[in-house]
Amino acid sequence: MNNWFTVKVKYTKQLENGAFKRVSEPYLLAAMTFTDAEARIYEELGAIIRGEFTVTNIARTDYHDIFQYEDSDTWYKCKISFESATEDSDKAKKVSQNFLVGAHSVKEAYDRMHESLSTMLVDFLIPSIIVSPIVDIFPYTEELDKEISRRPLLEDEPIITTGKRVYSAPGSDLDDEIEEEEEDFEETEEELDTEDLEEIDSDLDDEYSEN
């Protein structure tokens, strides 16, 4: 089965001002194994990156779904948490799942997550939204799978919706128990819009109060 892998690639990149700089960029792709992920990143980036590039790290990464919007190239990693009943016990278990969503701001990522998960049958919270360094994603494609001699997988096609694509990689361990932690937003090396954070905090406070 496919899983998501984060693959870091180092190469010499030409900047907008014409200068050259050695950079390390992470990409996300669907693959069956680490070896498969390495083979596929060379297939995907071979026609994109000029010159040589080196794969410096490959790590399995759990994402439940990826919501790609055509109007945004920035990715936000969103964690949701909810309670799920277990068969062996009457006590509900706290579950967390990670998603990627394309958006222009934290608030838009928050809104798009609620829009995309509006059909969930349980109430959920969004305790964390952070900017992801992921440069691009490469979901499973049957054509590439045949090229590098991988067997076809079931349920592999993305669900297409208006202005948005949803990608899943069956086989990931999605239902990890969430540890008790302060439910706040984290910042990455990129600066987040203060006004966006204030608006999203207000939305979350209202949601937590209702629950």
Mean pLDDT on 145-159: 45
By mean pLDDT, which of 59-68, 168-177, 185-194 is the weakest?
A: 185-194
Residue spans of the domains in the chain: they are: 3-210
Instruction: For residues 197 and 91, give the distance between their C-alpha atoms in angstroms, rounded to a whole number.
Output: 34
| 193-207: pLDDT as tens digits | 445 545 555 554 555
Helices (H), ranges, 14-126: 34-45, 106-116
pLDDT, one tens digit per residue, over 27-74 is: 999 999 999 999 999 999 988 888 889 999 999 999 999 999 989 889
**Pair 109, 159: CB distance under 8 Å:** no
pLDDT value, residue 170:
52
CA angle 75, 76, 77 (to 5 degrees): 120
| pLDDT of the residue at 4 | 95
Mutual angle of helices 106-116 and 194-210, in 10-degree steps: 40
Cα atoms found within 13 Å of the Cα of residue 65, Cβ hemisphere only: 15
For position 210, what pLDDT does the model report?
Answer: 52
Strand 137-138 versus strand 3-14 pairing type: unpaired
Least-confidence region, from 32-41, 150-159, 162-171: 150-159
Enumerate the β-bridge partners of residue 100: 66, 77
Q: What are phi and psi of 188, to 5 degrees?
A: -100, -170
Alpha-carbon span 199 to 182, nearest angstrom: 19
pLDDT at 160 over 80: no
> Which residues pair with residue 61 across a beta bridge?
4
Q: Tell me, rounded to whole angstroms, the distance of Cα 115 from its chain centroid.
A: 16
Is the pTM of the predicted complex or chain greater than 0.85? no
